[in-house]
Amino acid sequence: MSFDTERQQMVDEQLRARGITDERVLAAMSAVPRHLFVDASLRGRAYDDSPLPIDAAQTISQPYIVALMSEVLALKGSERVLEVGTGCGYQAAVLAELAAAVFSVERLPALADRARERLASLGYQHRIHVCVGDGGQGWPAAAPFDAVMVTAAAQSVPRPLLEQLTDGGVLVLPLGEAELQGLARIRRQAGKLHVDYFGECRFVKLIGEYGWEE
């Protein structure tokens, strides 16, 4: 079976069949070659319905979670998006299919370098910008952002991320304890915050000033 066929099966059976309805998100998940974001030894499992390990004891998220987090941002195509936690770069590539520009912060230099190279090889270098830093601090020099996605578990919402969000902007993050979180969407509107939850999830910890200690 070809990777193209496996990717389409993933979209049909893991995403569409489980309630992902945003056609732009489904198209993005169909377009991004997930198998190129995992180690060569794991490419046969790239389209499995599960997270997979990447370097530095991190993970590439389950396809359904990638699609769900992307869908709840409700991107239209013109947005500037901040991603906290570049990892292998897969979620950033999906976001780049949905928005005008993606600014992704990774705390581990080796992961950031590999993600930057991988994304450039796929033609994303002009739409995705990667820097090394404490993701909880956001990316002040590139702010403000219309949407923020945090791909690591936080015990509370990092204040700098809210401060870098435009009025009407949306922040999505796993919020809770180390072993189990709720997927939260926070919309900033006229100085007030509106919160919705989209079920349970499990992510690696957000490390830094606004997360867990190293």
Catalytic annotation, residues: 61
Q: How many CB atoms lie within 10 A of CB 204?
A: 19
Element (H, E) at 71: helix 63-73
In terms of DSSP bridges, do strands 59-60 and 128-132 run parallel, antiparallel, or are they unpaired?
unpaired
Angle between helices 63-73 and 23-31 (to 10 degrees): 140
Nearest-CA neighbor of 87 among 52, 42, 121, 120?
52
As a whole number of angstroms, the distance between CA 159 and CA 127 comes to 26
Q: How many CB atoms lie within 10 A of CB 89?
A: 31
Residue 147: strand, helix, or coil: strand
Contact in structure between 84 and 161 (CB atoms under 8 Å): yes
Residue 106 is classified by DSSP as: E
